[in-house]
Structure 1
Amino acid sequence: MAGEEVSHDGLVSVDRARLWTLPDTVPKLVGAAVSVDTARWCAGWADGLITVNAPRETLVRIVDAYRDSGGRGPVNLQVHLSWAPDEDEAAHIAHDQWRSNVFAPPVCWDLETAEHFDAVSEHVTARQVAQVVNVSADPGRHAAWLQEYAELGFEGIYLHHVGQELDRFIDVFGAKVLPQLAEGPR
């Protein structure tokens, strides 16, 4: 990483590689974890951690595992959400766009084609999707969810609107959600 010559023989083989043009600031290496074991492992080498929204208990265990194992860098969260002007539309968007993403490992890791995802998600309900996507037409509810994540210890929260209409989402969250977070807890 400091311009030295590196060779490695393993899953990826590297023969006398060298980075000739070094950046002024070495980029941070952020580990991605969706399990407690991976969070612990990342604590040993990563400059920070990122995970995706999951049930509160799971998120607490992941953050605690990283911190208890020596992880000192920032802990970040990608939040899947669906917003629309009314509840039915927000639920429809989430179900249409994210129903194939409700399955736990190893199912979600082992599907090979879009057709496989369509087949396994054929009977997924909107209620099942709402367990993995924050779905609401209420900007205040979204702000409350985001505040709850921050209170779990997440320093960075990345918003992933699962819908395709991003202009309205950006406008509403910029005007009505983010200002509530800037005010702090109520």
Structure 2
Amino acid sequence: MRRMISAYKDNGGRGKVCLQVHLSHAADEQRALELAHDQWRTNVFAPPFCWDTDTAEAFDQAAEHVPPDGIHQAVRVSSDPAQHAEWLNSYAELGFDAIYLHHVGREQSEFIDVFGEKVLPQLEVSQP
């Protein structure tokens, strides 16, 4: 990611450099993994498969073969707010202007509460 940011800026890029991070958080590690696997396993495929697959049904079929541990390549999964803060701080240190947090689970209230109370205060970022 550092090389990508440098290439962009070194070649005249003037817009903001933004990152969207897919996250899964729950009260325990197993539940966080289950949420991510249930909701996001269709989004782990690299090109050209993800470009050439033309129906939701085909993605669902392929996702049947994604084991729970296979989700870690696409989603940051943890029950530990400090771990999430560590990951997010490492992305901020790379030079992103904005980092957008996407909780992949359906229940957003707990995510918002936990991240608002325990994760965001640990981040070394500046307010716009």
User: How high is the TM-score relative to the length of structure 2?
Assistant: 0.93
Counterparts of 1:129 and 1:148, CA distance in 2:
20
Q: Out of 73, 80, 83, which is 2:15 matched to?
A: 73
After TM superposition, give the deviation of residue 61 of structure 1 in Å: 2.6
Structure of higher RCO (CA pairs closer than 8 Å, 6+ residues apart): 2
Which is worse superposed, 160-169 or 112-121?
112-121
Q: Is contact 2:29-2:79 (8 Å) kept?
A: yes
- RMSD between superposed Cα atoms in Å: 1.4
Q: Aligned residue for 1:21?
A: none
Q: Tell whether 2:71 aligns with 1:129.
A: yes
After TM superposition, give the deviation of residue 73 of structure 1 in Å: 2.3
Choose between structure 1 and 2: higher strand proportion: 1
Counterparts of 2:39 and 2:32, CA distance in 1:
11
The gaps in structure 2 that reach 5 residues or longer are none
User: How high is the TM-score relative to the length of structure 1?
Assistant: 0.65
Q: Aligned residue for 1:179?
A: 121
Q: Out of 150, 153, 159, which is 2:101 matched to?
A: 159
Q: Tell whether 2:25 aligns with 1:83.
A: yes
Choose between structure 1 and 2: higher helix proportion: 2
Q: Aligned residue for 1:104?
A: 46
One-letter code aligned to 1:173: F
Percent identity, aligned pairs only, is 62
Counterparts of 1:108 and 1:66, CA distance in 2:
24
What stretches of structure 1 move > 4 A for 4+ residues in a row? none
**Number of aligned pairs?**
126
Q: Residue 130 of structure 1 aligns to a residue in which SS?
A: helix
